[in-house]
Amino acid sequence: MAHEGLWEQLVQHDGSKTAQNAGCQYVSDAERYVIDFLNTGYVVNLRDREIYPVRTESPLAAAGFLEQLCILAYLLNAKDIPLAGKLVRAESFPGGQFFFRGVHGLPTEQLEEAFGRRLERLHEVSQQFDAQPQQYGDASVELRIFPRVPITIVIWAADEEFGARASILFDQTAADQLPLDALLTAVSLAVDALVGHGAEGD
């Protein structure tokens, strides 16, 4: 079974407390959580150890390996604390300056290529994820990956002299909610989803 160790940890947790920490719902008689990930509701079925979208109610449409990893890691680590309201770079998290480099770098190049010359497309696509426009750079949005994990994507447009630039910023509490590896995976999935939806308009 995928992520068996994470499941073993999760079934030992108090369901109501875990749901409060994660900002999601726990249905005790059905032994399942209902949680939003990238604006999609997922059922986390503890009895059968399956995760699938609420809209399908079918294990046949199970979440992918990485989606399941992120959801389980979030449920295990989330804390019931308020957002700091302060945006920071990933490198500012404890261990972040060493972790977020090389193959673990944030996927900003994908954002630059997809939206650097068509800023309006970022806002169009992000609406599908209930993202909120922000006032940074030439275009920016706040996208909530999990209930307690928002990210802010900022794009500076390409011009004749300079290429596009993109930045991904986090609330200062993000590393309290997810380990760095799971945080990077969740961000990568979010960027893949945005870029994928953006390409559909081509």
Q: Where are the alpha helices (DSSP H) in the chain?
A: 4-10, 15-22, 65-77, 96-99, 108-115, 119-126, 174-177, 180-199
Average pLDDT rounded to a whole number, residues 132-157: 97
Q: Tell which of 59, 77, 95 closes a domain.
A: 77
Q: Are residues 108 and 25 in the same domain?
A: no
pLDDT higher than threshold 90 for residue 57 = no
Give the neighbor-by-neighbor strand order of the sheet with 149-156: 87-88, 165-171, 149-156, 139-146, 132-133
Q: Are residues 108 and 163 in the same domain?
A: yes
Q: Are residues 100 and 73 in the same domain?
A: no
Query: Does residue 126 form part of some domain?
Result: yes
Q: Are residues 71 and 99 in the same domain?
A: no
Average pLDDT rounded to a whole number, residues 135-147: 97
pLDDT higher than threshold 70 for residue 198 = no
What is the count of structural domains for the chain?
2
Q: Tell which of 77, 104, 124 closes a domain.
A: 77
**Angstrom distance (rounded) from CA 5 to CA 2:** 9
**pLDDT, tens digit, for every residue of 80-94?**
999 999 999 999 999
Query: Does residue 162 form part of some domain?
Result: yes
Query: Does residue 127 form part of some domain?
Result: yes
Q: How confident is the model at residue 1 (pLDDT cuts 50, 70, 90)?
A: low
Q: Are residues 191 and 109 in the same domain?
A: yes
Query: Does residue 82 form part of some domain?
Result: no
Q: Are residues 124 and 169 in the same domain?
A: yes
The confidence score (pLDDT) of residue 60 equals 66
pLDDT higher than threshold 90 for residue 112 = yes
Q: Are residues 106 and 165 in the same domain?
A: yes
Tokens of 49: 């150890």
Query: Does residue 182 form part of some domain?
Result: yes
Query: Does residue 29 form part of some domain?
Result: yes
Q: Tell which of 33, 58, 77 closes a domain.
A: 77
pLDDT higher than threshold 90 for residue 160 = no
Q: How confident is the model at residue 106 (pLDDT cuts 50, 70, 90)?
A: very high
pLDDT higher than threshold 60 for residue 201 = no
Q: Are residues 189 and 163 in the same domain?
A: yes
Q: Are residues 26 and 105 in the same domain?
A: no
Q: Are residues 120 and 59 in the same domain?
A: no
Query: What are the φ and ψ backbone dihedral angles of 165, each rounded to 5 degrees?
Result: -130, 145
Tokens of 109: 């190049």
Q: Domain containing 34: what range?
A: 4-77
pLDDT higher than threshold 90 for residue 200 = no
Kindly state the DSSP code that residue 24 receives in the 8-state scheme. -
* Angle formed by the axes of helices 108-115 and 180-199, nearest 10°: 20
Kindly state the DSSP code that residue 63 receives in the 8-state scheme. P
**pLDDT, tens digit, for every residue of 60-69?**
678 999 999 9
Q: Are residues 92 and 72 in the same domain?
A: no
Residue 108 and residue 166 in contact, taking contact as beta carbons nearer than 8 Å: yes
Q: Are residues 93 and 136 in the same domain?
A: yes
**Angstrom distance (rounded) from CA 11 to CA 182:** 19
Summary mean pLDDT of the chain: 93
